[in-house]
Amino acid sequence: MKPLTQLMPALLLAALAHGQVLADQAQVAVAANFTEPIKAVAAVLEKTTGHTLAVTVGATGKLYAQIKNGAPFDVFLAANTAAPAALEKDGVAKTGSSFTYANGKLVLWSADASKVDAKGDVLKGNSFRKLAYANPKTAPYGEAAMQTIDKLGLASAVTPKLVQGESIGQAFNFVHTGNAELGFVALSQVLEGGKLKGGSMWVVPQALYRPIQQNAVLLNRGQNNPAAVALIKLLQSPNIKDLIRSYGYEI
């Protein structure tokens, strides 16, 4: 048997071949609407580079506050443009690194396949007990929901029935578990393979709410992390853009 010192070069080459030596991990803060897409993106990243992601999901506003207070994230995928821009301005993120990775769409969704009609008239009918939405102060999709309600002139009618989630993820769970018959959620949460996974939905017309432009930014901590840099690069590649579109986003 060869001595260990003679075996080390071969072991090192084998490890390199499998990406075990060069692989790094990035800590990524992700807006809750992007929970499922980031899983698919992470799988592509690991397959092509060996790098992995440790993902924390939540409301954009809360993640922003955590980053400002020193939370150890490398990349931030927000659901707006304001938070990444503020982090760049404050010197917490690399200047000029912010870019749009997706444009989100708001939907009214129910787990009941017969509840939501194609025009969203169920809202005007007011024949429901609870309507879930995300906190508009911290979640851009929650803000879009309130803009929609106001544009439709339904604020006084539906306000007593509103159930507020901390994030768009919690708003979705309220509807998924039956705690609310209806909810304003992200289109990406109810699609699978480009098709509705279940229930019924109304895709809210863009004219009823301000565009949900979602920006990513490379945080200072991630500038020297190969996994973080690779993720930023991957998110801008044509193939990943097609993957993101499959979840109902516009690019």
Domain coordinates in residue numbering, the chain: 24-103+212-245, 105-208
CA dist 229 and 153 (Å) reads 45
Q: 24-103+212-245 maps to which CATH number?
A: 3.40.190.10
Q: Residue 19: how many CB atoms within 10 A of its CB?
A: 14
pLDDT the model gives residue 156: 95
Q: Is the pTM of this model over 0.75?
A: yes
The parts of the chain modelled with pLDDT lower than 70 are 1-22
Contact 214, 77 (CB under 8 A): yes
CA dist 111 and 127 (Å) reads 15
pLDDT the model gives residue 194: 85
Task: State how far the alpha carbon of 105 is from the alpha carbons of 140, 187, 229, 250, in Å.
Answer: 11, 6, 27, 8
Fold held by 105-208: D-Maltodextrin-Binding Protein; domain 2 (3.40.190)
pLDDT the model gives residue 14: 46
pLDDT the model gives residue 12: 41
Contact 222, 229 (CB under 8 A): yes
